[in-house]
Amino acid sequence: ETGVTQTPRHLVMGMTNKKSLKCEQHLGHNAMYWYKQSAKKPLELMFVYSLEERVENNSVPSRFSPECPNSSHLFLHLHTLQPEDSALYLCASSPGTGAPYEQYFGPGTRLTVT
């Protein structure tokens, strides 16, 4: 059981759809992350938020739009995605940003773009 939840767990969407992924952490952490995991590839960091402020954006296409309304919630808004965006999207949180902190992961959202 983790303190990080993600919804939905599975999502199938067409390339013209707009959808949102939601992440919630119940750990009192100050930092939250979005990762993308494609088949046969390592986890790729997409976005980092610290105290609701975006501190890192790893050159992610604009069709992915993050939102962090407070330190417990993180969204990833999706629009006009491509089939190659199909992947597992993982949310994580940590007490702060930086090396000494462990990250706690959610169960992920399995996204399929048709």
Residue 48 interacting with another protein (CB under 8 A): yes
According to the binding rule CB under 8 A, does residue 110 interact with another protein? yes
Q: DSSP state, 74?
A: E
Stretch that binds another protein, among 19-27, 60-68, 71-79, 106-114 (CB under 8 A): 106-114
Distances (CA, A) of 28 to 11, 75, 94: 28, 17, 9
* Phi-psi group of 40: left, alpha or beta (phi > 0 → left; psi -120 to 50 → alpha; rest → beta): left
Q: For strands 44-50 and 18-25, give the pairing.
A: unpaired
Residue nearer to another protein on the CB measure, 16 or 99: 99
Nearest distance, CB of residue 9 and another protein, angstroms: 8
| Binding residues for another protein (CB under 8 A) | 2, 37, 40-43, 45, 48, 56, 88, 90, 92, 97-100, 102-108, 110
